[in-house]
Amino acid sequence: MKLSAAGLELLKRSEGFRNRVYRDVAGVPTIGYGHRLLHPESFSDGIDASQAAEILASDVRDAELSVERLVKVALTQGQFDALVDFCFNLGAGKLAHSTLLKILNAGRYQDALEQLLRWDCAGNHECPALKVRRHAEAELWNNIAADQQAAA
């Protein structure tokens, strides 16, 4: 499965674009559409939109592969999109060790969605931007009509 246009739009809107290195909420050096810098990356001259798009495509592919590897039940496109955005945002390790994944792999889709909505904190504090993002993911998760249209 691949991230849909709707999923990519959510991801880009949530992350925003920055052409210079900045520190994210967790203090991690980041650039472009939420790309966390890996050693020895530096981008001292910044990046342009096309470089950001290339990096984003690679990061999205990593998130897609993580969801495919970790999730053992069938997903709708919307559920897949929501989980790819979640992995992109928090990392595959967070999904791998989550109650969300355990419940989802047991086939309890609605309970898994409720778990997804719990991931709205940075540190021990509720983060309004994460709350908005999780609710947008929930909208994708529940978008059965769009999934059926895409399959037709």
Positions annotated as catalytic residues are 15
Say which residues have a Cβ less than 8 Å from residue 77's Cβ, sequence separation at least 6.
1, 4, 7, 143, 146, 147, 150
Tell me how far apart the alpha carbons of residues 152 and 149 are, in angstroms, rounded to a whole number: 5
Say which residues have a Cβ less than 8 Å from residue 139's Cβ, sequence separation at least 6.
none
**Contact status, residue 52 vs residue 34, Cβ threshold 8 Å:** no
Q: How deeply is 121 buried, as exposed, middle or buried, from its count of CB atoms within 10 A (0-12, 13-18, 19+)?
A: exposed
Adjacency order of strands within the sheet including 29-32? 18-23, 29-32, 35-36
